[in-house]
Amino acid sequence: MIDTQFAKHYPTPGRAAAAVRNYRWIAQYAPPLRQPELRRTGPLSLTFEQVEGRPAGPHDLTRLAELLGNAHGTAWTKDLAFATLRIPHRFRDGAVFEDYLRPRQVTLRRRLEQGYLTSTEALHTTLTLLDKTAEGPCAFYKDSNLRNFIITAADELVTVDTDDLTLAPMGYDLAKLVATLLLTHGALSRDAIDEALAAYNGAARRHDAQLGTTDRERLDAFLALHATFTAPYIGRNGYRHSWPDVCPQETS
């Protein structure tokens, strides 16, 4: 059997070091997310076990939602119970997770400059929505793009690309998964999204009752934010559908 490996390269030593730290944090505090084995670290590259399989698809949504709920509940229990969404979370080595608001405020202002928000009024509305969602228990955001989950031939779920982690509300990363499925594969029924949300909440609630409280209104608010954040990538990276065509509020 050939043991294949995959090398990922980074522009600076700091980015490579952060990727290692995030990988190890996930392994320690969110072990439900199985990651490829990290074989070797270098100043500008990391070498991983090569995992073969397919990316996630719409039929995987409920299963992945349950996985995320379990991972977020585990991380809350182990490390994030005393974190707050508006303040960066400090690692034991002194480095930090960015808070929920600041990096997204920066990105939204960039979207205005890029023309994806049509006016300063639209920016204000979106910033207000972002601020409104900055409440409740802390989870983490790892960018749950469907392509960041590999389903192996043995039907195992493997999580890849944990280079960038920030704090986020419970349910926010689930909304990213839903958004990327919509933009890649087209509209999902409300029932399919509701089933995934119920699976997520149920898995999170097994760790603590206060964690499984994300409702559809809150999930839809997260989806609206992701629609703006992902706008530059429509037509690229497998995103074949536009948000107005797949918006869950318009599906049956």
pLDDT tens per residue, range 147-203:
999 999 999 999 999 888 999 999 999 999 999 999 999 999 999 999 999 999 999
Q: Are 243 and 227 in contact (CB under 8 A)?
A: yes
Q: Find residue 5's DSSP bridge partners.
A: 49
| Structure tokens, 8 | 């990922």
In order of 4, 109, 158, 159, 166, the CA distances from 50 in angstroms are: 5, 37, 11, 12, 26
What is the rounded distance in angstroms from the CA atom of residue 131 to the CA atom of residue 147?
A: 28
- pLDDT at residue number 97: 87
Q: Are 92 and 102 in contact (CB under 8 A)?
A: no
In order of 6, 9, 58, 105, 230, the CA distances from 186 in angstroms are: 31, 32, 9, 28, 15
Q: Is 139 helix (H, G, I), strand (E, B) or coil?
A: strand
- pLDDT at residue number 47: 96
| pLDDT per position as a tens digit, 57-71 | 999 999 999 999 999
Query: Residues for the chain: how many in total?
Result: 252
- pLDDT at residue number 248: 76
- Domains in the chain, start-ordered, CATH in brackets? 52-250 (3.90.1200.10)
Q: Residue 2: which H helix or E strand, with range? A: none
- pLDDT at residue number 4: 86
pTM of this structure: 0.93
- The residue among 66, 80, 62 whose CA lies nearest residue 26 is 80
- pLDDT at residue number 92: 72
Q: Are 222 and 133 in contact (CB under 8 A)?
A: yes
Question: Which residues in the chain land under pLDDT 70?
Answer: 1-3, 249-252
